Amino acid sequence: MGLLVDGKWTDQWFDTKSTNGKFVRSASQFRNWIIPDGSVWSDNSKGFPAKSDRYHLYVSYACPWAHRTLIFRELKGLTEHISVSAVHPDMMTDGWTFHTDSYGASGDTLYGHEFAHQIYTKADQNYSGRVTVPILWDKQQETIVSNESAEIIRMFNSAFDGLTGNTTDYWPAPMRDDIEDVNQRIYDTLNNGVYKSGFATTQGAYDAAVYPLFDTLGWLEERLSTNRYLMGDTLTEADWRLFTTLIRFDPVYHLHFKCNRKRLTDYPNLWAYTRELYQMPGVAGTVNMHHIVRHYHYSHETVNPYRIVPINPVIDYGEPHGRGDRVTP
Ligand SMILES: N[C@@H](CCC(=O)N[C@@H](CS)C(=O)NCC(=O)O)C(=O)O
């Protein structure tokens, strides 16, 4: 694990000393936008038109943020238009690598690089910052369009609709304010909350993360007892952003990140909801449980120094969910 400093790879774990034991996620730096016709819509959308076979997605199957983008690529019919490379699940001193000795790890199918940091320095040879996935790459300009998953899924949601004819909208304009509120709470206390719990290096930092996390799970359980999806009957990006954390909860976060007051399977509505989303067309194929379980336990030496990968309970995400039957509108 490390980061780039002026384009040079430096091996370094997260610094929690300067933040009283708290894990603080840094902001993504590449924030351009793909728009339908590439006409000038704002400075950062200039030159990124929605074209087939022009963009490439670098992901880790283990990563919940990258997972969102893989799901949107499926849901929006983009698989034949946007190619993908998946990194190896083990993220060690060199950061993410393109080694291929793990089922599903494809290597860098564009350039044959060995390390993900080479993609960042190809885009900007003086880049300083973390080398994170997902990375949305423009094959024509040979640069990074975006390394911010929340924005990549919004581009996928609509920019390519003219090309695919798929107009399903997971970010409907009239719901955006409400979606934002729900996203914010889920991001702070759950998507990122699991990391804040697991990477905390003081009791105080852990406590400050883990209690709000279970408050949020309780709130979600309640909300999903009367709503099929987070925003009612409409499936939105808020659901998919939540899903990638829920699917990792029992196999990883419960034990490895000490989020263990309850398991996902202890919440009847949340658990059935997770299965319903998992069972939607194309979604199960984006879930590589081997990469998920292996990555966290094997890569986080500070959390799990002997790198022992636990056997975990056997969880059947394909079990019938019954959501349509039991939810009262
Ligand atoms: N804000 C980014 C966060 C992505 C992120 O933190 N990805 C993790 C994997 S789950 C990563 O690549 N971490 C490597 C690092 O921080 O060095 C997004 O949502 O796209």
150: pLDDT confidence band, cut at 50, 70 and 90? very high
Nearest C-alpha neighbor of 83 from the set 60, 104, 118, 52: 52
Of 58, 61, 63, 229, which is the active-site residue? Answer: 63
Which pLDDT score is estimated for 17?
A: 81
* Rounded distance between C-alpha atoms, residue 228 and residue 233, angstroms: 6
The finding on whether 254 has its CB within 6 A of some atom of ligand 1 is no
pTM as predicted: 0.96
Query: Residues annotated as binding site?
Result: 96, 130-133, 148-149
Ligand 1 centroid to residue 50 C-alpha, Å: 25
Does pLDDT of 141 surpass 50? yes
* Rounded distance between C-alpha atoms, residue 211 and residue 151, angstroms: 29
Q: How far is C-alpha 231 from the chain's CA centre?
A: 20
Report which ligand 1 atom has the smallest distance to the Cα of 64. 10
Residue 195 appears among annotated catalytic residues: yes
Ligand 1 centroid to residue 146 C-alpha, Å: 12
Which pLDDT score is estimated for 13?
A: 79
Domains and CATH numbers, the chain: 2-164 (3.40.30.10), 173-326 (1.20.1050.10)
As a residue count, the chain comes to 329
The finding on whether 277 has its CB within 6 A of some atom of ligand 1 is no
Report which ligand 1 atom has the smallest distance to the Cα of 116. 12
Q: Which residues contact 57 (CB under 8 A, 6 or more apart)?
A: 69, 70, 73, 82, 83, 84, 85, 134, 135, 136, 137, 152
pLDDT digits (tens, 9 = 90+) for 63-97: 999 999 999 999 999 999 999 999 999 999 999 99
Which pLDDT score is estimated for 14?
A: 80
